[in-house]
Amino acid sequence: MTTDTGGEGSMAGTTDQAQAAHRMIQQATKGIAGARTLVELLHRLHELRLLIAPHFTDEERPDGFFDLIRARSSRHLGAVKQLETEHQAFLGEIDGLAAQARACLAGPVAHILGQAAELARRMHEHEAREDALLGDALYIDIGEEE
């Protein structure tokens, strides 16, 4: 989002750009809330971060969105400061959630998946031994009875 304080037309363009970017971010946040698995959550967090990091940088840059608001209305200085502070907090929270999800997937989830794979391997081997025993008892032992 670029801001050009050169006139009302550019202000309308800036407003449209900001609102479009904000709608995209709001849509992405719905995806975070709707994530049903850790893998899906990680994917959506990554997408959101890729979207908001440059957006926040653009808003905070000199002559960016926040400077535009400061220049046009001093009564919003406190709100702008709060929003700037929240930017870094949001990025930190996204990074923290992603780290927790990765740790879960690498730790408890990976351990459970490993246990499940080992159970499946043992059960597969068990059934193979039963098949071998059945074949041995029916085909070899039957032949010895005659």
Give the tens place of pLDDT for each residue, 79-109. 999 999 999 999 999 999 999 999 999 988 8
Task: Tell the residue number behind the tokens 């780290």, with chain if given.
Answer: 99
SS3 content of the chain, % helix, strand, coil (to 5): 90, 0, 10
| 41 touches 29 (CB < 8 A) | no
Q: With the CA atoms of 91, 92, 98 and 102 taken in that order, what torsion angle do they form, in degrees rounded to the nearest 10? A: 150
Q: Could you tell me if 1 and 13 are in contact, meaning their C-beta atoms sit under 8 angstroms apart?
A: no
The pLDDT of residue 135: 85
Nearest C-alpha neighbor of 48 from the set 65, 66, 27: 27
Question: What is the token pair recorded at 88?
Answer: 């870094």
Give 146's pLDDT tier (boundaries 50, 70, 90). Answer: low
pLDDT tens column, 112-124: 889 989 999 999 9
pTM comes to: 0.72
Widest distance between CA atoms in the chain: 105
